[in-house]
Amino acid sequence: MTDAHGGESAARIVNKYMQLVDSAVHGSSRIVQRIGDQVVLIGDNADDLVITAQKLNSLTLEEHHFLSIHAGLHYGPIFIENDNLFGSTINVAARIMNLASRGQVLCSSQFKAMLTDPTKFKSVGSYSLKNLMMEFELHELLQDQQSNSFNIDPVCHMHIDVTKSEFTFIFNGMTYYFCGPNCRSLFKDSPASFIDREKHA
């Protein structure tokens, strides 16, 4: 997104995102770190963190021309000193977050076991996480269906409400939606490169 729209747009979206995070925090959940466009939250109750993730995902999807979240949840002890987090729990959560795709919230089996209603998650298989010897079974949060019809701009990856979009391009019989003329122009110049990148995102 920064490549397509520049640093000013990135700063605007990050600032808006931080406002949405503040609005989404639920129950015992609390923000302990903000690093660029990433936020670290902890909580005394796993259910509170799931509700926070659901609210944040819904809030971001309601924003036209915005970006999807991806998140990782894990359960275990952490040590906090001078606002810095230490321990394997935070490392595992970060590795899980890196595996999540756009709009996806993943958790470990350890986290799922602490939920009042574990049926909110479905298994997506076992994964080896970087620098960790054991495999972790991961589970995906089942999201509520959104009322708005959103697509993803294949260039900058922002949400596009198809009912509001003025910029489209048809390629190989498929209609693509864009946030503005710049992204549409970039796509028209080399559609295959953006489609291939999307497949590997």
Q: Can you give the pLDDT at residue 61?
A: 82
Tell me which of 24 and 68 has the higher pLDDT.
24
Domains of the chain: 2-141 (3.30.70.1230), 150-199 (no CATH)
**15-24, 94-103, 133-142, 154-163, range with the lowest pLDDT:** 154-163
User: Residue 76 CA to chain centroid, in angstroms?
Assistant: 22
Tell me which of 165 and 74 has the higher pLDDT.
74
| Residue 198 confidence (pLDDT) above 90 | no
Tell me which of 164 and 108 has the higher pLDDT.
108
Mean pLDDT of the 123-132 span:
87
Helix (H) or strand (E) holding 56: helix 46-61
Q: Which amino acid is at 51?
A: I
Q: Can you give the pLDDT at residue 200?
A: 45
Q: Residues 152-162: pLDDT tens digits? A: 888 988 888 88
Q: Can you give the pLDDT at residue 95?
A: 93
Q: Can you give the pLDDT at residue 147?
A: 44
**31-40, 73-82, 128-137, 172-181, range with the lowest pLDDT:** 128-137
Q: Can you give the pLDDT at residue 94?
A: 92
The CB-based long-range contact list for 126-130 (8 Å cut-off, 24+ gap) reads: 127/99, 129/92, 129/95, 129/96, 129/99, 130/95, 130/98
Q: Residues 84-126: pLDDT tens digits? A: 888 899 999 999 999 998 889 999 999 999 999 999 999 999 9
Q: What per-residue string of b and e applies to 79-110 under the rule 16 or more CB within 10 Å gives b?
A: eeeeeebeeebbbbbbbbbebbeebbbbbbbb
